[in-house]
Amino acid sequence: MTHTHHRRGSRESLEKDFVVLAMIDPAVKAQHTYKEPLTERVTRFLDICGRHNPVALAARTPDRRLRYLKGWDANMDGGIHRAANVSEITSCEDIEGIGHAVYTNKPDVAGLLEELKDADLGLSIVVSGVFEEVFDACERAGIEPHTVNMSLETWGKTELLPKSPVLELCTMCGHAMIAPKLAETLMDRVKRGGMTPEEAAVELGKQCTCNIFNTVRAAEIIRSNTIEQAQP
């Protein structure tokens, strides 16, 4: 489960991309019963996440996934994908022990971490992003990083990989649910004026069932490679 890892892009772009994950380990029973019932702690986690301007927020119940994605209108739904708003997620009463949120700036993440530290929820928290920025956010929150997972990029037949910006868009879903061909098709549609970068970003983000896709960053990538590129 390394789904928030290996996101590609320039430093400038990646500095606007943070994924925060909360989970408990199936084997560590003490984490399941720490202080309060798990459902209440995860609900509090989601509530805190919701106060720091997430561009995506996701939680699971026993039978469905609750997904808020900035720009996603419930009228755009298709297939198994369903949009939720933040309050629908934070008020849900049968949440399971995992949650995700996506942010676009460091102050929001630092504020979130500070609140999570004070809340002492007994949930393992992982932040994906530019290490220097994440470590700085930890320092601001008075937290010491515990373990890192570094990326040594991609090895082997790298000539098979799609080119940038498709790679940057597709790697925002670590399970590769977003087809390179879909990214190309939607960017082409934006170029021809058939849809906005934001609409294209949401259609891509819907495919990422874990809901860790950053639609704000994606729209910027799409805009700079379509509309702005076409301008004289």
Partner 1 sequence: MKIDEEKCVECQLCMAYCPVGAIKSSDEDVYVDQESCVECAVCLKSGVCPQEAFYQPPLEWPRILRSQFSDPLVAHPVTGIMGRGTAEMKTNDVTGRFREGEVGFAIEMGRPGISTSLIDVEKVAMALVGKVDFEALNPVTVLLDKGTGRFKDPRVRGVRALSAIIECKTTEDRGLEVLNILKEVSEKIDTVFSLCVINRCQGHKVPFKTRMEEAGYTPRINGKTNVGLGRPLA
Residues 9-28 that bind partner 1 (CB under 8 A): 11, 14, 17, 21, 23-28
- The CA-atom distances, in angstroms, between 38 and each of 43, 94, 99, 146 are 8, 10, 12, 22
Is 105 among the residues that bind partner 1 (CB under 8 A)?
Answer: no
Judged by CB under 8 A, the chain residues 60 through 79 that form the site for partner 1 are 77-79
Exposure string for 72-84, b = 16+ CB within 10 A, e = fewer: beeeeeeeebebb
CB 92 within 8 A of CB 36: no
State in angstroms the smallest separation of the CB of 55 from partner 1: 17
Total number of residues that touch partner 1 (CB under 8 A): 82
CB 19 within 8 A of CB 213: no
CB 60 within 8 A of CB 46: no
Is 135 among the residues that bind partner 1 (CB under 8 A)?
Answer: yes
Is 150 among the residues that bind partner 1 (CB under 8 A)?
Answer: yes
**Of 29 and 91, CB closest to partner 1:** 29
Judged by CB under 8 A, the chain residues 191 through 220 that form the site for partner 1 are 206-207, 209-210
State in angstroms the smallest separation of the CB of 231 from partner 1: 26
For the purposes of burial, counting CB atoms within 10 Å of the CB of 158, is it exposed (0-12), middle (13-18) or buried (19 or more)?
A: exposed
**Of 206 and 223, CB closest to partner 1:** 206
State in angstroms the smallest separation of the CB of 189 from partner 1: 10
